[in-house]
């Protein structure tokens, strides 16, 4: 496909047939260029990103401007629709296409932001627990049990309700309730790596614990962590949609997709596009992220071989 020729030109060395010539980075590029799911997910995600970043700049539409005389107009493909409002309007006469477009930014920001927060917490705890073991590990295991026992969505709702909803709060709350996977993966990876000879050798040459953790252990857990990261982005996006749907996430008039679905809920019989369109948007975004994540998991699997299509 076009993708592959493009990549081939960018990274010619990756496609050298002599495997011994490939650096680890080349190997990853080569394997990714062969993985259908990964390419599809990545392509879709890039399109969505471009939409989110440049859409609002290029297209002159406003998600906030209300026109109460133009409420609940149907999308262009339905009877009564027009090209002026491609996706119709909502109950306040706002351009629905604009609202969904701007909502992309919300979902992406919160998704990646929350996953980052979760990653920082989870990986820090996991690597410490895996490397130091002993009472550090016990404490971290206890924290993990607590985290897993708490009902995530309810806890998030409560905290947001107490502190007050805003994008930053939502990002931190979702991140702080979703670090369990990161911890488990980085902990077990650290335990495995800690016993490898190159870590022992680093100790022998006098590297400090900090240096060993930063230079030897964490970089080698990266491939596993990145897979968890992509999956958590999807989860965070859905979580935010749930919170906003329930009213304890993003506040109106900011167009979060979850909020759009909540607002359109009553009109499900007569203006179903109010729910269907943001639903499709959510679905598309999460599917693309998940496909990318699955692809990454296959690509970074140390036992996977390069298979040409």
Partner 1 sequence: MSDLLNIQNLEISFQSNNKNLKTVENFSINLNEKESLGIVGESGSGKTLSMLALTRLLPKQASVSSGSIIFQNRNLDELDNKNFYKEISGKKISMIFQEPMTALNPVHTIGKQLLETYLYHNNVSVEKGIERALEILDAVKLTKYKQRMDQYPHQLSGGQRQRVMIALALINNPSLLIADEPTTALDVTVQKEIIQLISDLRETIGMALIFISHDLGVVSQISDNVVVMKNGEIVEKGKTLKVLEKPNHPYTQGLLDCLFKLEDEQKKNQIKDTPIIKVKEISKSYKLPAKIFKKPEIIYAVKKVSFDVKFGETIAIVGESGSGKSTVAKIINGLINKDEGKVEIKGQNIEDIEISDRAKIIQPVFQDPYSTLNPIHTIGYIVSRPLTINQNRSESEVKEEVIKILRLVGLSEEYYNRFPNQLSGGQRQRVAIARAIILKPQILICDEPTSALDVTIQSQILDLLNDLKTKLNITIILISHDISVVKYFSDRIIVMYNGEIIEMGNTNNVINIPKDKYTKRLMSSVFSLKK
Partner 2 sequence: MSKLKSLILTLLISLMFPINVFADKSDDTFVAAFSRELTQLDYHYGTKTEFLILGDMIDSGLFYVNREDLSYVPDIASDYKIVDDTTIDINLRKNAKFHDGSNVTADDVVYTYNFIVKNEKNRRSKKIKGWMESIEKTGTHSVRFKSKYPYANLFNDLYRIKIRKNGIMGTEGNWNDSAQLNELNGTGPYKVVSFDPGVEVVLVRNDDYYGGPKGKPAIKNVIIRSIPDMGTQQAELMSGGIHWMYNVKKDIGEAMAKTGKADYQLGPSLRVGFLVLDAGGYSGEGNPITKLDVRRAMNHAINRDSIAKNLIGGPAKAVHTACNPVVFGCFQDVKKYEYNPEGAKKLLAKAGYPNGFDLDLWSYRDKEAAQAMAEDLGKVGIKVNLKHGKLSALNKARKNREIRAYFGTWGSTASPDTATISNIHWRDPAKGDRNLSGDPKVNELMLGAEQTLDVEKRKSLYAQGLKLIADQAYWVPLWSYSEGVLSSKSIDFKLDPDGYPRLWNITWK
- Provide φ and ψ at 151, rounded to 5°: -70, 110
Residue 205 near partner 1 by CB under 8 A? yes
Residue 304 near partner 1 by CB under 8 A? no
CB under 8 A: which stretch of 2-10, 148-156, 195-203, 264-272 binds partner 1? 195-203
Q: Which is nearer to partner 1, 80 or 206 (by Cβ)? A: 206
User: Residue from 50, 53, 154, 196 that binds partner 1 (CB under 8 A)?
Assistant: 196
Residue 207 near partner 1 by CB under 8 A? yes
Least separation in angstroms between residue 190's CB and partner 1 is 14
Least separation in angstroms between residue 236's CB and partner 2 is 23
Question: What does the alpha-carbon distance between residue 227 and residue 292 come to, in Å, rounded to a whole number?
Answer: 9
Q: Return the number of other C-beta atoms located less than 10 Å from residue 262's C-beta.
A: 20
Q: Which does 303 bind (CB under 5 to 8 A by kind): partner 1, partner 2, none?
A: none
Cα end-to-end span (Å), the chain:
11
Least separation in angstroms between residue 258's CB and partner 2 is 14
- Residue 163 tokens read as 């502190």
Contact criterion met (CB below 8 Å) for 225 and 183: no
3-state secondary structure of 85: strand
List Cα–Cα distances, 231 to 11, 110, 181, 219, 285, in angstroms: 27, 14, 10, 19, 12
Residue 138 near partner 1 by CB under 8 A? no
Which residues make up the interface to partner 2 (CB under 8 A)?
Answer: 64-66, 68-69, 71-72, 91-93, 247, 251-253, 263, 265-271
H or E element, residue 198: helix 197-204
3-state secondary structure of 89: strand
Residue 211 near partner 1 by CB under 8 A? yes
CB under 8 A: which stretch of 6-14, 66-74, 207-215, 246-254 binds partner 1? 207-215
Q: Which is nearer to partner 1, 44 or 298 (by Cβ)? A: 298
Contact criterion met (CB below 8 Å) for 63 and 102: yes
User: Residue from 206, 210, 269, 303 that binds partner 1 (CB under 8 A)?
Assistant: 206
Question: What does the alpha-carbon distance between residue 276 and residue 296 come to, in Å, rounded to a whole number?
Answer: 30
- Residues engaged in binding partner 1 (CB under 8 A): 17, 20-24, 27, 196-198, 200-207, 211, 215-216, 219-220, 308
């Amino acid at each position: 496909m076009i993708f592959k020729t493009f990549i081939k030109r960018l990274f010619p060395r990756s496609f050298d047939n002599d495997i011994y010539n490939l650096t680890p980075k080349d190997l990853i590029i080569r394997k990714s260029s062969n993985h259908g799911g990964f390419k599809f997910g990545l392509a879709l995600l890039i399109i969505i990103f471009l939409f989110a970043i440049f859409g609002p700049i290029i297209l002159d539409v406003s998600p906030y401007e209300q026109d109460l005389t133009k409420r609940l107009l149907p999308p262009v493909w339905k009877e009564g629709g027009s090209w002026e409002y491609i996706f119709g309007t909502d109950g306040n006469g706002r351009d629905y296409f604009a609202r969904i477009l701007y909502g992309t930014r919300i979902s992406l920001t919160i998704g990646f932001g929350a996953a980052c927060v979760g990653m920082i917490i989870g990986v820090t705890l996991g690597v410490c627990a895996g490397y130091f073991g002993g009472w550090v590990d016990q404490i971290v295991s206890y924290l993990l049990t607590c985290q897993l026992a708490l009902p995530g969505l309810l806890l998030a709702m409560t905290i947001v309700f107490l502190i007050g909803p805003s994008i930053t709060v939502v990002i931190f709350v979702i991140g702080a309730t979703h670090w369990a996977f990161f911890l488990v993966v980085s902990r077990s990876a650290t335990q495995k790596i800690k016993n490898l000879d190159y870590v022992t050798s680093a100790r022998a040459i006098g590297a400090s614990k900090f240096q060993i953790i930063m230079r030897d252990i964490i970089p080698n857990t990266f491939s596993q962590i990145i897979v968890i990261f992509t999956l958590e982005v999807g989860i965070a996006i859905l979580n935010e949609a749930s919170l906003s749907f329930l009213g304890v996430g993003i506040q109106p008039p900011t167009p979060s997709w979850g909020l759009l679905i909540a607002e359109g809920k009553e009109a499900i019989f007569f203006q179903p596009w109010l729910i269907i369109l943001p639903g499709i948007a959510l679905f598309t975004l999460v599917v693309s992220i998940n496909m990318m994540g699955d692809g990454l998991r296959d690509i970074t699997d140390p036992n996977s071989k390069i298979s040409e299509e």
